[in-house]
Amino acid sequence: MAHHFESDGLKLVGRLTEPHLTNGGKATGLVLCHGFPSVLIGEKDSAQSYYDLADLISDHLGWFVFAITYRGCGNSEGNFSLQGWLNDTISAARHLNKIDSVETVYAVGFGTGGALAINAAALCEEISGVAAVSPPSDFNDWIEEPKDLLNYARKVGVITGDDYPENLDEWMQELSEIQTIESAGAMQGKPLLVLHGADDRVVPSFDARVIADAHGSADLRIIEGATHRLRFDPRTTAVLIGWLDRVNRSNLNSMTIGQNFPKQEEQL
């Protein structure tokens, strides 16, 4: 169902898929982060594909899945900025974490959304782990051609009006301040899955390897014959669901062990 949340004073929308819980049980939550819009895929079709994925994950795992719509996209307020989208990711995770039935929150992101999910996990304690699909390791291409990015953002509708951004230099500075490789190393042991297509011509699979190396213990999966549009590849769904289930079960087992065994000083 449609669900609203706030980020930096903006009213953003998404769709929250809820599992069927009984006896007041607890469940896991997942923030689903889309990538940068493409003129090749209609907005309606793009949004629907994320909603379908959210429903599938929720049905298989029994999780709350929050497919968010970043500022400037769809019916969400505001205009695109990279820092703004990072703030939106963190705000969504904290919003989902406040739901009484949600015990743990993970994030799954595609493309730009995957990179931002990694950055958010390094900053936000509410995010317990990340699966990043086709994430860029940096935004150097955007930094080198900021006016091209601005024109493209206007073309796909994530920026409206000629008076935004008010300060172009500050808007551009955000592109270099968000460091995905450093953030992967700063996730403090949180699990990370990096999933990439071997034939991705938009973001080379080398980016995935660099991010995984920076994390130190990431699960790296390169799918042979796959392109950048991994969201539409059934192998992606299978890997995502399997990894999320395994990581969450491990996390729950660790929590149970911690609850059952007293601290060392309590045993003395």
**Side chain identity at residue 248, one-letter code:** N
Residue 249: which domain range? 2-267
At 120, which CATH number? 3.40.50.1820
What is the model's pLDDT at position 186?
Answer: 98
End-to-end Cα distance, the chain: 52
Element (H, E) at 68: strand 64-68
pLDDT in tens, 68-80: 999 999 999 999 9
Report field, pTM of the whole predicted structure over 0.85 = yes
pLDDT of residue 10 exceeding 50, the answer is: yes
What is the model's pLDDT at position 46?
Answer: 58
pLDDT in tens, 206-250: 999 999 999 999 999 999 999 998 988 999 999 999 999 999 999
Q: Considering only CA atoms, which of 36, 69, 71 is closest in space to residue 51?
A: 69
Number of domain units in the chain = 1
For 225, counting Cβ atoms within 10 Å of its Cβ (0-12 exposed, 13-18 middle, 19+ buried), the class is exposed
